[in-house]
Amino acid sequence: MNQLEQLRQLTVVVADSGDIDAVRQLQPTDATTNPSLILQAGMQPQYQHLLVNALQQHRSDISAACEQVTVNVGAEILRHIPGRVSTEIDAHLSFNTAASVDSALRIIERYQAAGVPAERVLIKLAATWQGIRAAAQLEQQGIHCNLTLLFSLTQAKACADAGVTLISPFVGRILDWYKQQQPEQDFSGENDPGVQSVKRIYQYYKQHGIATVVMAASFRNVEQIRQLAGCDLLTIAPNLLQQLAADTAPLPPALQKPATRAVNTPAALGEADFLWQLNEDAMVSDKLAGGIRQFAADQRKLAQLLSSISCQ
């Protein structure tokens, strides 16, 4: 078997892409999208009809049309996978709990109007305090959530307290930060700080019997993926999936559940402690804020793209 086939025996493989053709070819179980991936898809000629359809439904409201595009792409992806798709709310809402909940409910309604049941959708929200609180409300309403832009055990603990379905700890962006700060350091293999972060989160969740599942994300190379084989899920870009499929070397499990569980239930993390711990970690503060800015910028570009089409 190639390494992709071996990986599928250890981990649920998820495609990190808005490219419907790539999803169709690679046949992952699930798929994830974000504003940057939606923008990339929207700029491809073969997906223009998904933008036109959104504008036909919401020509006088570009914001609603942007939301509809994410649903159109997600619904099309779901035609080619057996599992779920993650659809992200507008990054501009990352610090507004009520608006995040409202957006999530609208997205679910749009999916249902397209014939997609809510259980096939994960709502993606940034792992800010407000985003986590929104996820807690949504989970209570039976809407499952994927907390993204997650760079620390602190964020993971707060997500577990909120009862979210799934978290997406980022690997590559953590590595990017440390390489910039310490360019002379060897961060290969097990020394990769992004890999180490996911391993800490995974072990903490399993030791405490936490139901929230871990889907590592944001990979820069296949070695990071190999180092996390055995994680609950891995969401991987198409080019890295193709590299795994071309390699037939053995792929042993790298993550395993601990033999024993912790006796004590950890205390819930309050807002003040959450914010302080994020403030004390420069990497987390930088990457969370930067990720939100990047997604918000790509959301604005998508709105501009839709506006240009509507004027044609």
Buried b (16+ CB within 10 A) or exposed e, 1-33: eebbebbeebbbbbbbbbbbebbeebebebbbb
The whole-number pLDDT of residue 312 equals 67
Mean pLDDT of the chain: 95
Q: Which of 198, 244, 188 is nearest to 26 (CA)?
A: 244
CATH class of the domain defined by 3-307: alpha beta
The whole-number pLDDT of residue 123 equals 98
Q: Model pTM greater than 0.75?
A: yes
**Tens-place pLDDT, residues 69-79:** 999 999 999 99
Active-site position among 124, 157, 199, 287 = 124
pLDDT at 119 exceeding the cut of 90 = yes
Find the mean pLDDT for residues 55-65: 92
Query: How many CB atoms neighbour CB 163 within 10 A?
Result: 14
Kindly indicate the confidence band of residue 258, based on its pLDDT and cuts at 50, 70 and 90: confident
Q: What percent of the chain has pLDDT over 90?
A: 92
State how far the Cα of 62 lies from the Cα of 74, in Å rounded to an integer.
18
Delimit the domains of the chain by residue range. 3-307
State how far the Cα of 43 lies from the Cα of 307, in Å rounded to an integer.
13
pLDDT at 59 exceeding the cut of 90 = no
pLDDT at 152 exceeding the cut of 80 = yes
Q: Which two tokens stand for residue 126?
A: 């940034």
Region class of 142: left (phi > 0), else alpha (psi between -120 and 50), else beta: left
Find the mean pLDDT for residues 266-291: 97
pLDDT at 311 exceeding the cut of 90 = no
pLDDT at 40 exceeding the cut of 80 = yes
Residue 199 annotated to the active site: no
**Tens-place pLDDT, residues 84-115:** 999 999 999 999 999 999 999 999 999 999 99
Task: List 145's β-bridge partners, or say none.
Answer: 123
E strand or H helix that includes residue 177? helix 172-181
The whole-number pLDDT of residue 135 equals 98
With contact defined as beta carbons under 8 Å apart, do 29 and 283 qualify? no
| Centroid of chain to Cα 69 | 18
Q: What percent of the chain has pLDDT over 70?
A: 100
State how far the Cα of 240 lies from the Cα of 221, in Å rounded to an integer.
7
State how far the Cα of 12 lies from the Cα of 88, in Å rounded to an integer.
20
E strand or H helix that includes residue 156? helix 153-162
State how far the Cα of 120 lies from the Cα of 156, in Å rounded to an integer.
23
pLDDT at 266 exceeding the cut of 90 = no
The whole-number pLDDT of residue 264 equals 84
Kindly indicate the confidence band of residue 263, based on its pLDDT and cuts at 50, 70 and 90: confident
